[in-house]
Amino acid sequence: MARKVAVVAAGHSKFGKRYDATMRELCAEAYKPIYDAGVTQDKIDATVLSYAASQFTGQGAGSALMADYLGLQNKPHLRVESACTTGTASLRAAWGMVAAGLYDVMLVLGVEQMNRVSSAVATEYMSMAGDMRWEYPYGISFPAFYALMASRYMHKYDMPHEVLSRISVKSHHYGAQNPKAHLPREVTLEEANNAVPICRPLNLYDCSLITDGAAGVIIAAEKRVKEFTDQPMWIKGIGAGASAMMIQDRESLTSIPGAKRAAKAAYDMAGVGPKDLDMVQVHDCFSIAELIAYEDLGLAEPGKGRELIENKEVYHDGRIPVNCDGGLKSKGHPLGATGLSMTYEILKQMRGEAENQSRQIDDVKIGLAHNVGQSGQFVNVFIFERGW
């Protein structure tokens, strides 16, 4: 029988264009709060590095580099890669090893340094995650994939672009209150709705950021949890899903099928449903992705997700708070760190430690992290429960 596993500590670097730090230094910045919380190197059995794309820095063998720099060079280590879901894929791999009894305490650390190349080159590298025979050669980038989804959704449900802009306004409202955020500034609805086009109908404020940063968590088997904290966050449900590689092969462009399957598996494992959630972190790589996530996770019926943002139900004091750290849109999206940043935020909210009370969610007992890779080819959903 699998052992119970909890998140017992977490750390987070500043996200942004981090020309002031190397990849290894970003890892150290994320590990320092964990070390300061008492999880020193001698207490860690093994590590997993979440590192999605070595093209950005040219650094191979990232897990060895990270382990060496953090003083963990004698501990077993490995790297996991799963596009934008690399963070939660790494956490899932580590959870499996701890749950199985292979290790008791593991560090899962995610990092990406994407601004060592130009925005054009970064976009090209990410486009290579599309089909290299039938998509990439024809200039299809990820803004284009999500623009296709947005166009179809807006047509099917007769929805104006302004609804997407309201999501961007919310993201920046909370990002402005998060000292870790890449772009911590408010935007008005007019700014968000009339920004320069990127790939119609998506504009500048519909798209997430090319970001440098790191985030990490410590997970521990139940028998070791009390050594580190009296405020553990238990991993209650894990679901993974997949979708067809080419979106032309999907039945619908207004939903991500892998996300729906991952959510169902996580809900079933945790024994909860959408109505039990106190907060949600969704993969808002584009504003349309957040709207679709509302529906894929069962927070709203198909075509009704707009009501959550229009009625401010997804704000910190609403019915189901979503991305009250700024999300990928304002906080940033360093590929390998994103899923672990979501986990860090849920732990922080459960402990009542949000930096600003105007983004602190009241009494979080159950939180969900929804992490999507590419345009839905990879999806992981985690459900966490407060342990005190």
User: Residues near 239 by Cβ (< 8 Å), separated by ≥ 6?
Assistant: 261, 262, 263, 264, 265, 266, 267, 268, 269, 380, 381
* CA gap 212, 16 in Å, rounded: 5
Residue 13 CA from chain centroid, whole number: 15
Output the CA torsion sign for 49, 39, 9, 30: negative
84 is catalytic: yes
- Helix, strand or coil, per DSSP, at residue 265: helix
Strands 77-80 and 202-203: unpaired
Instruction: Give the number of other CB atoms < 10 A from CB of residue 274.
Output: 15
Q: Which two tokens stand for residue 335?
A: 């590929």
Do 217 and 108 meet the contact criterion of CB atoms below 8 Å apart?
A: yes
The catalytic residue among 161, 283, 316, 333 is 333
The catalytic residue among 27, 84, 207, 324 is 84
Active site residues: 84, 333
